[in-house]
Structure 1
Amino acid sequence: MKSLKSFLLLCVCAAFFSCTRKNQPEAAFSVTASTFPCYDAARAVLGSAATDGTVGLKLLVKPGTEVHSFDPSPADIIAVQKSSLFIYAGGKNDEWVEKVLESGGSESPAKKLRLMEFVETADEISFGEEDAEDEEEHSHGKEANSADKSLSAENPHEQDEHIWTSPANELKIIDAVYEALCETARNAGKPELCAAFEMNANKYKEEISSVTEKTAAVIAAAQEQYIVMADRFPFLYFANYYGLSFDAAFSGCSTAVEASTSTISRLIDTVKAKNLPAVFYIELGNHKIADSIAEACNVSAIELQSCQNVSKKDFDAGETWVSLMERNAAALKKGLR
């Protein structure tokens, strides 16, 4: 009798969930985003359409994972190929994308949006001993992209992919995503969605402008507009936009996790010479280098958000580019002299 009751209960549950799925509206189209900045822009423009089933939105690189070592699963590849719109940055960490798109043949997304095509890009910067093998070719006496004199261009053909860290670029990204989503909606026979997309895009751009003004005011009030990143440096566009000078342990896409003694010494000397109150590190790292330098200099170690990815906790809480930049404004207020 107990087994029969359990069986009947399972049948009722199965029937309920089957009906629920049938009653759910079918998405007008699907959007796949490679990384969080792409996802965040699409989510902002889509608004409620991303949560009520009107449009399917998928993030490939899961929250809390390392973007630089991402390897797409077969399910990820299928998601890209079946998408109505696929959004990706298009830099070094998206090399796998081109391979997937080339191998897909007729099985490829209806529309591809490569965000680096919509902004002016800059050469990635290397620091300290990263370019030791190229010391004869690079002069440490040159200034590069408003950086400290110890910096040099890592590779004239290697473009820094962290374009979204500049507010000016982020505004262009929102515009590009809006246009792509509206075109995709029209192609899906849902042109009426464009009005809401435009309203959402404009609202998000206002929020971007607001946090940008706040951040600019914090930096302008600082006596020393200089940061030391005891970590990778995915902030080239951010620093250039706000006029910050900088030094760091590694380039933005470096896979290094251990800094040399000379690199740590250089950063310690910089912190002390400029009397900086803090060193910075990026999200999702172990910040051991920052802690070591902070201890040696008796200063704070503070997190800066590159927005390249977020923790699962932040993702579940609905954190956005804007809210993460709000954190950065607060971090800079503490960490700039």
Structure 2
Amino acid sequence: MKKTRIFILTIIAIIICTLLYTTSKMGETSPEEKIIVATSIMPQKEFIEAVGGDKVKVIVMVPPGANPHTYEPQPSQLRELSKARIYFQIGSGIEFEKTWMERLKEQNPNIKIINCSKGIKLMKEDPHIWTSPRNAIIIVENIYKALIEEDPNHKEYYTENKDKYVTRLKKLDEQFNQTLTGKQNKKILVYHPAWTYLCRDYKLEQITIEREGKEPSPQTLAKIIQEAKKDNIRIIIVSPQSNKQSAQAIADEIGAKIVTIDPLAENYIENMEKMLQTLKSI
């Protein structure tokens, strides 16, 4: 009888300890509990992590330094994608998504596709919607809506994170407004036409060296040089993925400085602040 009582008390003690341990662990997020999501480009990674924080793990299909016009996913990336619950699609017509989106869905038929361009007025000639802070705010809101739908238990957490990040984006928008309002020279010379939305929202004019993905002809180059001299352009903006030969030829001819700004950089706000500082000096 005594042994039976000891056995029962031991079992009760084990159950109580197990319950206490389980309770102490409630609310902790282990790596296994993170929502695995995927997206196409690095700027989206910052947006998703700004909202999702430690509740999400982000797979980026086009890695740093790769060209979304030509990149092909590696087998290891496709294996990772098969575990993702959400794909945050840019939805603006970038070449990677036009080429690969259907194949990515075949790789993971259950993945939920979120079009992050919803609510943005698209321009066919430029898929780089994120290069305007005003569009970035809309993209972040679309990400937020998808995360609270997928994981409603953490709505308060996502809301707090989203509000903090959107506040930073609104401050960035105001800085662009203050810097560019009343500026007489509204023209910027760029190699790749990646800044169309920025120019639209802040009333700038983008002169591009590359036209329809092709290097300029000698005649086009001469025309650009003539226009740049006339407008006293002293800065040429290029991306790391660009062939800088044509830009350098123009810079040598007009005495301009070449500034490298990557529209695909992950550190979005820091990168856009660099763009803002560049525009101050045009």
Shift of the 174–85 alpha-carbon distance from structure 1 to 2, 3 Å rule, reads same
Q: CA separation in 1, counterparts of 2:118 and 2:251?
A: 39
Shift of the 109–262 alpha-carbon distance from structure 1 to 2, 3 Å rule, reads farther
Q: CA separation in 2, counterparts of 1:25 and 1:66?
A: 30
Corresponding residue number in structure 1 for 2:8: none
> Shift of the alpha carbon at 1:110?
3.1
2:100 aligned residue (70, 73, 97)? 97
> Shift of the alpha carbon at 1:293?
0.6
> Shift of the alpha carbon at 1:222?
2.6
Matched, 1:40 2:41: no
Matched, 1:273 2:230: yes
Gaps of 5+ in 2: 1-28
SS in 2 for 1:295: helix
The sequence identity of aligned pairs, in percent, is 23
Q: CA separation in 1, counterparts of 2:243 and 2:163?
A: 37
Counterpart amino acid of residue 166 in structure 2 = K
Shift of the 62–232 alpha-carbon distance from structure 1 to 2, 3 Å rule, reads same
- Tell me the alpha carbon deviations over residues 10-38 of structure 1, each in whole angstroms, 9 at most, x when there is no partner: xxxxxxxxxxxxx9541232111111122
Corresponding residue pairs, total: 252
- Tell me the alpha carbon deviations over residues 288-335 of structure 1, each in whole angstroms, 9 at most, x when there is no partner: 2222111101122223442xx23xxxx5xxxx211111000111112x
Matched, 1:163 2:129: yes
Q: CA separation in 2, counterparts of 1:25 and 1:293?
A: 51
- Tell me the alpha carbon deviations over residues 56-87 of structure 1, each in whole angstroms, 9 at most, x when there is no partner: 22212111222211111223223333211111
- Two-structure CA RMSD over aligned residues (Å): 2.1
Counterpart amino acid of residue 249 in structure 1 = I
- Tell me the alpha carbon deviations over residues 116-158 of structure 1, each in whole angstroms, 9 at most, x when there is no partner: 333111121xxxxxxxxxxxxxxxxxxxxxxxxxxxxxxxxxx
> Shift of the alpha carbon at 1:101?
4.3
Q: TM-score, normalised by structure 1?
A: 0.69
Verify the 8 A CA contact 2:90 2:115 in the aligned structure 1: yes
Shift of the 329–292 alpha-carbon distance from structure 1 to 2, 3 Å rule, reads same
Greater RCO, CA 8 A, separation 6+: 1
1:251-262 → structure 2 map (5 Å cutoff): 251=211, 254-256=212-214, 258-262=215-219
Shift of the 283–92 alpha-carbon distance from structure 1 to 2, 3 Å rule, reads same
Corresponding residue number in structure 1 for 2:277: 330
Q: CA separation in 1, counterparts of 2:120 and 2:81?
A: 23
SS in 2 for 1:67: coil
- State the 4+ residue runs in structure 1 displaced beyond 6 angstroms: none
> Shift of the alpha carbon at 1:182?
1.3
Q: CA separation in 2, counterparts of 1:194 and 1:275?
A: 51
Verify the 8 A CA contact 2:41 2:61 in the aligned structure 1: yes
2:163 aligned residue (195, 202, 227)? 202
Instruction: Tell me which structure has the larger Cα radius of gyration.
Output: 2
Gaps of 5+ in 1: 1-22, 125-159
